[in-house]
């Protein structure tokens, strides 16, 4: 076990669920306790979104001899043992199965502000879905209320040929699953809205990608 020794200056220590500990930075985040002593340094730079340095220097993970020998790999076939929390946009089939993944409005899936602004249901290991911002179910279309977005989402269902029953929502993950990261990276490689966050954006690229699965542009307009 590890003793928590950090003293918050910006507010009280957050209440974290079972298997989680408070982030040492004082930013109010909760991190997985299993990250302590997992051979990856979660230090003050918060590379993966958590600072666990006050837990015996992340269980020894941030000792100089370990930090010097560790580096990330960013090739397409990269693999992390864990990811920070993330907020992404999913398109869902009527069955609830995820159809596609993107970064809503081109926003960073890793930023705390994206989580607080878009993933209003918070985050969980399995994924906490905010109310759909675009709902193309027949019931929603008949009611003329096709989601929480402030544009005419019912018109979009028809204009973009979205299959009846599909819906779109921002989903928060406590520790971003590999399949979500892989899906976002594939979308980025195709020039989608996640491109800036996976180093795929090139000078002269458009700020948005047309199509029913990614129609929100970086400047906030809708195609």
Q: pLDDT at position 13, please?
A: 65
Instruction: Give 133's pLDDT tier (boundaries 50, 70, 90).
Output: very high
Instruction: Give 80's pLDDT tier (boundaries 50, 70, 90).
Output: very low
Q: How far is CA 31 from CA 19, 28, 129, 179, in A?
A: 9, 10, 20, 20
CA nearest to 18, candidates 27, 30, 10, 7: 30
Q: pLDDT at position 223, please?
A: 36
Instruction: Give 70's pLDDT tier (boundaries 50, 70, 90).
Output: very low
**Against a cut of 0.85, is the pTM above it?**
no
Express as a percent the part of the chain with pLDDT over 90.
Answer: 42
Contact indicator for 214, 168 with CB cutoff of 8 Å: no
Q: 10 Å Cβ neighbour count for 16?
A: 15
What is the arithmetic mean of pLDDT over 127-155? 90
The long-range contacts involving 179-184, CB below 8 angstroms and separated by at least 24 positions, are 180/86, 180/88, 180/101, 180/127, 181/80, 181/83, 181/86, 183/98, 183/100, 183/101, 184/88, 184/101, 184/102, 184/103, 184/109
């Amino acid at each position: 076990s590890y003793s928590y020794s950090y003293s918050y200056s910006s507010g009280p220590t957050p209440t974290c669920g079972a298997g989680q500990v408070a982030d040492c930075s004082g930013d109010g985040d909760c991190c997985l306790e299993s990250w302590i002593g997992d051979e990856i340094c979660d230090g003050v730079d918060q590379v993966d979104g958590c600072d666990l340095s006050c837990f015996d220097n992340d269980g020894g993970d941030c000792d100089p001899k370990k930090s010097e020998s560790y580096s990330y790999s960013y090739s397409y076939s990269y693999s992390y043992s864990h990811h920070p929390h993330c907020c992404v946009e999913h398109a869902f089939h009527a069955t609830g199965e995820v159809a596609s993944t993107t970064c809503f409005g081109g926003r960073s899936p890793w930023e705390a502000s994206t989580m607080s602004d878009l993933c209003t249901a918070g985050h969980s290991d399995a994924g906490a879905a905010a109310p759909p911002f675009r709902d193309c179910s027949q019931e929603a279309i008949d009611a003329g209320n096709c989601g929480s977005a402030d544009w005419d989402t019912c018109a979009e269902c028809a204009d973009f040929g979205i299959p009846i029953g599909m819906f779109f929502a921002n989903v928060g993950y406590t520790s971003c699953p590999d399949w979500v990261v892989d899906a976002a990276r594939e979308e980025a490689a195709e020039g989608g809205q996640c491109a800036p966050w996976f180093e795929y954006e090139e000078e002269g690229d458009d700020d948005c990608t047309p199509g029913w699965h990614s129609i929100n542009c970086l400047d906030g307009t809708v195609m």
